Structure 1
Amino acid sequence: MLEIAIFVCGAVVMIFELVGSRVLGPYFGTSIFVWTSLIGIILGSLSLGYYFGGKLADKKPSFNNLSLIIFLSAIFIGLTTFIKDFLLLILQANISDVRLSTVLATVALFLPASILLGMVSPYAAKLKLSSLSTSGSTIGNLYALSTAGSIFGTFLSGFYLIPHFGTNKLLIILSITLIIVSLALSARRLLSIKLSICVVLIIGWTTLNGISTLFEKNSFIDLDTAYNRIWIYDRLDTETNKTVKTIGINNENHSSMFLDSDELVNEYTKYYHLAKHFNPNFEKTLMLGGAGYSYPKDFLLNYPEATIDVVEIDPKVTELAKEYFRLKENPRLTIYHEDGRVYLNKTQKKYDVIFGDAFASRYSVPYQLTTIEAVQKKFKVLNDEGIVILNIISSIEGESGRFLRAEYATYKDIFPQVYLFPVRAPNDGSKRQNVMLVALKSEVEQPELFSNADPTLNEYLQHLWKKEIVNDTPILTDDHAPVDYYISKAI
């Protein structure tokens, strides 16, 4: 039984760490800062656990004490389920530095249980040792079992548990699993207490299931996929006073849809129609990022002679768009479920327009799509008159605009013409807003480039940023793209 306990605790450590990204993601994104905090704090916690576990084992080794250690770790993991959202909301609201907030959140939610799980291996080694002559092989075998458990837990959680159970249920599963292991190691007099707490957690599981069902009936969906935590809910659009359905990915609104209309909700998505101005004869287009497929649906309605390929990394997002956002099969729409950079690397297709909407996050963006190597790939797959229209959430000036300026400089190094169109406040460079970056493959600058007979398009063109863009950031490369650092300055 001791070997099983070691294996299970090793697995739980890694599952707990991986599910941690889904706990923190909706509030702080999934940037390098989140992963650094999780890995660093949990490794530090395990180190403390090894130290204290060894000390405690030398004083009073017993199966009851080991059972209690595992039991307490189960309680702390179970508590995480019920306190995490309250705590994370407080940290998000009161601490602007994402690095500090993620460290504090990780310490509060993951440190206690991780210390206790770290205590298991040295304590179990003490119980297992019967002779100094075989101490090396005994300790080696136990730590090999723990590591094997961690490897097993890593693959099990990433490939199956997180996509199928989600965050809350998985935390309860971990807690109940540890309690069962604890029960198997404990004396009879402790069984009733532990069984009672196990019953409470099972009731908590049932309650979570009931709440989840209730949310679904009230137009609120909360689920985990292999890539994201997704919320779907109805809300009131403050600009139109109409009800809209929204898909939130990692706690950020990515797409919205009017319940009674096909009109675009988010103002920035309307700026993709600038493609009609900059390349009026376009036929083949590519969009990186699907979410609720707001613009692809609008595109299919407005351009009956054109086609659009959409690259969306998460197949579950597409499935939800079909179920909740009126996305229908269309011979002019082709969907690829893979990373946008991977698609650019291998596609042999040529396009007239590339739309980019994969950066719709305040906390993290897929850096592999920001670099000069990615921009070169876009340039290569475009036809001679091809254009890129890219949505970036940023200010233009100041410290908070460094990511946008870095991306602008990166595009300028490849494309002969690059322009910015701030959506909400065209003359305010300090305001964080949707900024549309337009890059033209053509070197010919036409005098009528920023006027159009269509009054709507002409209005968008008047948002052209005409002030100087400071060249104070290096070009982003695959080797060095401090995107998360730049974005952290804007939060």
Structure 2
Amino acid sequence: MKSSWRLGATACVGGFALMAYELVAARLLAPSVGSSTYVWTGVIGVIIIALSAGCWLGGRVADYRHAPQDVGLLLIIAAALVVATMLSANDVLRWLTTALDEPRIQAVVAALVLFAPASFVLGAASPYLAKLNVSSLDTAGRSVANLSALDAVGGIAGTFVAGFVLLGAIGLNETLALVAGILLATSWLFMPRWQWRLRALMVGVVIIAALSGLCAPKRGDVSVETPSAHYSIVNYTNNGRQIRGLVTGPTGVQSGVYLDGAKDLPFWYTRRMVETTIAAKPRTVLLLGGGAFTMAEYMARQLPNTQIDVVEIDPGLENISRQYFGYQPLPNVKLIFNDARTYIQHTDQRYDVVLIDVYNGGEIPYSLLTAEYGNELARIVREDGLVVANLIAGLNNTPCRELFAAFDAVYRRTWPYARYAAQHRDLSRGNYVIAYSKKPRTMPAAMSPLQPLGGTLYTDNFIPNDRLYEACRRAVR
């Protein structure tokens, strides 16, 4: 093939499409399957397997054919499969989470069904491009290396553009449609004139399918994308009252407000955390994990003379909270958009009360469950200060108790006195609010003494976070 620039451009586009597709994969699975290491492992592993299989088969076929138009056909097929992912994802994930319980199997099966086919086809195109680009054995190494480098450049661009721009600016489905469109546009570089009608028909069908997915009326919950996360806004009824909730993963509502305009807190654990904080009469409060900022706003109204700093990793949540949850900024609330661990490491501020309500897909991030984190937190809590945390675990079965004990070990060595409240003490797994202090202090009547649990104190070097959480979840199924 004479026009090597077309081959290089196609390699670059293939790398871009694949990495953007991989980022979409993890984000698409997060609301239904979660965003744990298990999910990322399943997605990355399956896509690499599909790519390898595609390269193997594509190489064998390329040895028997020297047809540039095959590359165009492969790109059209890949675009069609990307659109199929967009159209079928909700139904596939709904079936998957009903039929399978094991998160690792869920992640692998979801990746096989939704993302392996397009990855396989993109992998098959690579050896075609390599063969077409080799004109002499003397320059074969350079020719293949150039294509590999351009593929890597495209992958780098796809990673940064999709991760930093597209997912937060236009959304998941729109990003998939854009990837499909780029693949379709590139396919025209390999379209012989005598086949243009057939190829145009195929491209048109894919475009119509993509548009039907983008323009289809949205059913049920509202989905909102930010550069770092996918959120669902859900309305439901609890005890006869309408609640709007913010969902960040497969484990339920993370934050919410009453739709009747009342500023009460709908969730038991937030009420208990605020009650414990108010009883401490703090001058300064740090809240790690903002959610929809409902707890921060309520607490600020109850403690107008208290400075409340809220650390939230996702800046996009401020607009979401204003638009869907009626969040109103108050003068004694400061929103700090940063990672919780990073903020703790670098701040010079010290606090009377630190509230910890940080979850990612139903799990506390492993970086907030280690000895090093506990040491860093101790630096910013005043000597007579209080640490109040929300934990989803249990005391009535061994796996959930092991998770609880690992959590307790992080705080217990600095703050030996602990009291706790449980929403349902007889449940194997549920919400617990635990308050830690260096000295005995007066607590709300609902808080009972918590004896040391003798848990393992893990470190940044080793903490089996996913195993602990998965064992607890499996124990209560």
Deviations 1:194-241 (A, max 9, x none): 4334334434444444446x66xx8x431211111011232222x2x1
* Aligned residue in 2 for 1:332: 332
* Aligned residue in 2 for 1:490: 472
Q: Distance in 2 between the 1:277 and 1:129 partners?
A: 73
> Is residue 437 of structure 1 aligned with residue 434 of structure 2?
yes
> Is residue 413 of structure 1 aligned with residue 413 of structure 2?
yes
* Aligned residue in 2 for 1:480: 462
* Aligned residue in 2 for 1:383: 382
* Alignment partner of 1:92 out of 75, 97, 100: 97
Give the secondary structure class of the aligned counterpart of 1:489. helix
How far off its partner does 1:27 sit? Answer: 1.1
Q: Tell me the amino acid that sits aligned with residue 138 of structure 1.
A: S
Identity %: 27
* Alignment partner of 1:42 out of 40, 47, 71: 47
Q: Distance in 2 between the 1:276 and 1:36 partners?
A: 39
* Aligned residue in 1 for 2:293: 293
How far off its partner does 1:365 sit? Answer: 2.9
* Alignment partner of 2:179 out of 174, 177, 200: 174
Give the secondary structure class of the aligned counterpart of 2:359. coil
Quick check: 1:46–1:117 contact (8 Å CA) kept in 2? yes
* Alignment partner of 2:14 out of 9, 12, 21: 9
* Pair 1:385–1:211, CA change in 2 (3 A): farther
Quick check: 2:231–2:247 contact (8 Å CA) kept in 1? yes
Matching of residues 351-390 of structure 1 within 5 Å: 351-359=351-359, 361-362=361-362, 364-390=363-389
* Aligned residue in 2 for 1:400: 400
* Aligned residue in 2 for 1:454: none
Q: Distance in 1 between the 2:205 and 2:246 partners?
A: 33
Long gaps (5+) in structure 1: 451-456
Q: Tell me the amino acid that sits aligned with residue 42 of structure 1.
A: I
Q: Distance in 2 between the 1:140 and 1:360 partners?
A: 40
Deviations 1:277-309 (A, max 9, x none): 762x31110101111112111101211221211
* Count of aligned positions: 465
* Alignment partner of 1:196 out of 176, 196, 201: 201
Q: Distance in 2 between the 1:205 and 1:80 partners?
A: 10
Deviations 1:130-156 (A, max 9, x none): 211111111111111111111111111
Q: Distance in 2 between the 1:168 and 1:401 partners?
A: 40
Quick check: 1:359–1:391 contact (8 Å CA) kept in 2? no
* Aligned residue in 1 for 2:237: 236
Quick check: 2:297–2:329 contact (8 Å CA) kept in 1? no
Q: Distance in 2 between the 1:233 and 1:419 partners?
A: 33
How far off its partner does 1:342 sit? Answer: 0.7
Q: Distance in 2 between the 1:62 and 1:161 partners?
A: 34
- The farther-off stretch of 191-200 and 160-169 is 191-200
Q: TM-score, normalised by structure 1?
A: 0.90
Quick check: 1:70–1:182 contact (8 Å CA) kept in 2? yes
Q: Distance in 2 between the 1:92 and 1:373 partners?
A: 36
Deviations 1:369-426 (A, max 9, x none): 2222222222211112111111111222322343222111221122221233212x12
> Is residue 269 of structure 1 aligned with residue 266 of structure 2?
no
Q: Distance in 2 between the 1:255 and 1:196 partners?
A: 48
* Pair 1:413–1:278, CA change in 2 (3 A): farther
* Pair 1:140–1:342, CA change in 2 (3 A): same
Quick check: 1:179–1:194 contact (8 Å CA) kept in 2? no
Quick check: 1:31–1:365 contact (8 Å CA) kept in 2? no
* Aligned residue in 1 for 2:59: 54
Q: Tell me the amino acid that sits aligned with residue 482 of structure 1.
A: P
How far off its partner does 1:8 sit? Answer: 0.3
Quick check: 1:10–1:153 contact (8 Å CA) kept in 2? yes
Q: Tell me the amino acid that sits aligned with residue 275 of structure 1.
A: T
Q: Tell me the amino acid that sits aligned with residue 468 of structure 2.
A: Y
Q: Tell me the amino acid that sits aligned with residue 162 of structure 1.
A: L
Q: Distance in 1 between the 2:465 and 2:26 partners?
A: 19
How far off its partner does 1:250 sit? Answer: 3.3
Q: Distance in 1 between the 2:216 and 2:452 partners?
A: 50
Q: Distance in 2 between the 1:9 and 1:149 partners?
A: 7
Q: Say what the alpha-carbon RMSD is for the aligned residues.
A: 2.1
Deviations 1:417-472 (A, max 9, x none): 1233212x12x2x52111112111x23x36xx46xxxxxx42x22xx366x6653x
* Aligned residue in 1 for 2:78: 73
Q: Distance in 2 between the 1:395 and 1:89 partners?
A: 28
How far off its partner does 1:272 sit? Answer: 0.9
Quick check: 2:306–2:332 contact (8 Å CA) kept in 1? yes
Q: Distance in 2 between the 1:5 and 1:474 partners?
A: 52
Q: Tell me the amino acid that sits aligned with residue 433 of structure 1.
A: G
How far off its partner does 1:355 sit? Answer: 0.7
Give the secondary structure class of the aligned counterpart of 2:472. coil
* Aligned residue in 1 for 2:3: none
How far off its partner does 1:173 sit? Answer: 1.4
Q: Distance in 1 between the 2:104 and 2:195 partners?
A: 42
> Is residue 311 of structure 1 aligned with residue 308 of structure 2?
no
Matching of residues 209-228 of structure 1 within 5 Å: 209-211=214-216, 220-228=221-229
Q: Tell me the amino acid that sits aligned with residue 135 of structure 1.
A: A
How far off its partner does 1:353 sit? Answer: 0.5
Give the secondary structure class of the aligned counterpart of 2:94. helix
How far off its partner does 1:346 sit? Answer: 0.6
Quick check: 2:57–2:124 contact (8 Å CA) kept in 1? yes
Quick check: 1:169–1:208 contact (8 Å CA) kept in 2? no
Quick check: 2:406–2:457 contact (8 Å CA) kept in 1? yes
